[in-house]
Amino acid sequence: MNTKIKTGMAWYKEKDYPKLRLLFTDGAKFPEFYDEWLGSAEEAEQRESARGLEVVRVVIDPAAFAAWCKLRKISPDAKARKTYARHGSLLGGRPPKD
């Protein structure tokens, strides 16, 4: 049996992108426009897939992610996004619950 290792990737909806940039403590590092982010994210996704990983997109909702971070008393930053996506990948792409 050839099972790929799953890796979670934080994914954003275009309508939520401006809110997320404001929410993330490192949001100023993100491209200003969603299309720029999307191109970069799709390239990263392809690189991970080429390495033999199964990439699981975990969509981040601004309100749910903010509540998730607040409950854990953590900043909504890159580390939190990675943890959120990792947990979501184990749930088949569903965002983790509180």
- Which residue(s) pair with 11 in the sheet? 59
- Which position has the higher pLDDT, 31 or 94? 31
The H or E element that residue 25 is part of is: none
Q: What is the pLDDT of residue 27?
A: 97
Percent of the chain surpassing pLDDT 70? 97
Measured N-to-C along each axis, helices 62-72 and 78-90 cross at an angle, to the nearest 10 degrees, of 100
In one-letter notation, the amino acid at residue 22 is L
Average pLDDT over residues 42-51: 96
As to burial, measured by CB atoms within 10 angstroms (0-12 exposed, 13-18 middle, 19+ buried), residue 32 is exposed
Q: At 2, list the tokens.
A: 């050839």
Q: What is the pLDDT of residue 98?
A: 63
Average pLDDT over residues 64-73: 97
Q: At 69, list the tokens.
A: 């971070």
Residue 7: what are its φ and ψ, rounded to 5°? -135, 135
For residue 78, pLDDT beyond 80: yes
Give the C-alpha separation, 64 to 68, whole Å.
Answer: 6
